[in-house]
Amino acid sequence: MQARLGGSHSARIALWSVDFAEHLEIHERDGWNGVEKEMAGILGRLKNAGADFALLCANTLHMVYDAVEGRAGIPILHIADAAGAAIQKAGIGRIGLIGTRHTMGEDFYRVRLRERFGIETIVPAGEDFRAIDDIIFRELVMDRYEEPARRRCLEIIDRLVEAGAGGIVLGCTELPKLVSGAKISVPVFDTLQLHAEAAVEEALR
């Protein structure tokens, strides 16, 4: 925001930070219906705090986007739309997606990219699929960014490129830190950065 407006400007943000351990307990106990209720309550509080629009600042949370979007009372910027616009602008028609097992395995992300942007998505298979999810939940969530996980992630990315991916979506907001500085042969789309940039554009609009 400062880069766009100059001077000492910054973004006005109403932020609700979730205790991830409590969030996981809700998910384990009540499934996605519990997460939907959790997010609906938070969005209501953000609206009451004066927010004009909202972001769910995690890729996997968009599993409940359709359920909460109509109840939020304010628009919600979809993270896959931010990624899709950048991928489309780059002229890429087939993208590799890595993230949690839900982001990779469910269709909410892939369908949105296909229906709104004409982008086909491929995801890791077999042991690669399980490895990415394990790295996220057993290491990155605990703020562990270690070389074996980095190497494994980059190997998985290479296999997606070999399978025809013209770019890679880092569909978990911790992944950019893990692969930072790595030489990857195709464009990489950081959903954390792209979502934040979309928020700036919407706020200024």
Q: Domain range spanning residue 45?
A: 2-78+195-204
Q: Which of 109, 103, 143 is nearest to 20 (CA)?
A: 143
pLDDT score of 71: 86
Alpha-carbon gap, residue 67 to 34, rounded angstroms: 12
Same domain, 108 and 179: yes
Burial of 60 (0-12, 13-18, 19+ CB in 10 A): buried
CATH of the domain at 126: 3.40.50.1860
Domain check: are 120 and 158 in the same one?
Answer: yes
Q: Do 141 and 69 share a domain, yes or no?
A: no
Could you read off the pLDDT of 2-56 as tens digits, one per residue? 999 999 999 999 999 999 999 999 999 999 999 999 999 999 999 999 999 999 9
32 and 127 belong to one structural domain: no
User: Which residue positions in the chain have pLDDT lower than 50?
Assistant: none
CA 116, 120, 121 angle in degrees (round to 5)?
A: 110
Q: Is 26 helix (H, G, I), strand (E, B) or coil?
A: helix
8/94 same-domain check: no
Assess whether 72 and 11 both reside in one domain. yes
Do 178 and 96 share a domain, yes or no? yes
199 to 7, 88, 120: CA distances (angstroms): 19, 18, 25
Cα–Cα–Cα angle for 102, 23, 157, rounded to 5 degrees: 30
Q: Is the dihedral of CA 63, 66, 72, 77 positive or negative?
A: positive
The owner of tokens 């992300």 is: 109
Question: Domain total for the chain?
Answer: 2
Task: Say yes or no: 172 and 109 in one domain.
Answer: yes
Verify that 98 and 181 share a domain, yes or no.
yes
- DSSP-H helix ranges across the chain: 2-5, 20-48, 65-69, 79-89, 101-105, 108-117, 126-138, 147-162, 175-179, 191-204
Model pLDDT, residue 70: 84
- State residue 194's pLDDT score: 97
Same domain, 95 and 148: yes
Residues 83 and 34 in one domain: no
User: 117 and 200 share a domain?
Assistant: no
